[in-house]
Structure formats: C-alpha cells, structure tokens
Amino acid sequence: MVGMCQVNMLDEEWMMKAKCRAIEREMFFDKYEEDPILAKTVDETICLQCPVIRECFTWGTTNSEWGVWGGVYLVDGEPSPSKNAHKTKDVWSMILEAVSDG
C-alpha cells in the first residue's frame, strides 16, 4: 500500500509539524524493514531531523503502535531488536537523547 506517513491518518497537533507528513508511508513500514540502507536514511535524515521526534516516540509506545515512531521501529509499542539492528551505537545515542524527557 502506498500512502503518506502514518501521522497523516491521525489528528494530533504535534503531527502537523512532522517531517514525514509528505513522505510515502511505506518508508516507515515495509520498505524500512526490507532495506537497511533506506532505514538508515530514514533514521538519520528524517526522524533525527524531526522537530516532534519526542512526541512521536511517546505516541508510538503509549499506543502500542507498529512501524517507525520517533526514529525507532516499534512492534506493539516496543522497540524491535531485529528491525532496528542496522542502527549504530551513535545513532541509538542520538535517538535516545532526542526522545528522552530530560
């Protein structure tokens, strides 16, 4: 299925600021799972540059979502080890810092 990022299907104020609003939805689901190079690009050039990465991650984990939320591939709201295996230690550090409260 080709469509826009999942945030377009929802109705929260922070989603209006999402960097992925005009990006093909499958970049955050099937294509992310299948292509580690594309997944790395999504992590580093889309989600880590997104002004609402923290809100996105919180939404995904709180609502038991699947797919990429806050730069992390979630399965039922939990980070998936296999689908995030392409991430380097540095990228994990940047994501954790971006999504943390403090």
Angle at 61 between CA 59 and CA 65, to 5 degrees: 85
- Per-position x/- string for 33-72, each x denoting binding to ligand SF4 as judged by CB under 6 A, each - no binding: -------------xx--x-xx--x-----------xxxx-
- Per-position x/- string for 9-28, each x denoting binding to ligand SF4 as judged by CB under 6 A, each - no binding: ---------xxx-------x
Measured CA to CA, the distance from residue 42 to residue 46 in angstroms comes to 5
Q: Does 73 bind ligand SF4 (CB under 6 A)?
A: no
Q: How many CB atoms lie within 10 A of CB 74?
A: 21
User: Minimum CB separation from ligand SF4 for residue 48, in Å?
Assistant: 8
User: Minimum CB separation from ligand SF4 for residue 98, in Å?
Assistant: 9
Q: Does 32 bind ligand SF4 (CB under 6 A)?
A: no
Helix (DSSP H) and strand (DSSP E) numbers for the chain: 4, 3
User: Minimum CB separation from ligand SF4 for residue 56, in Å?
Assistant: 3
Angle at 31 between CA 26 and CA 37, to 5 degrees: 135
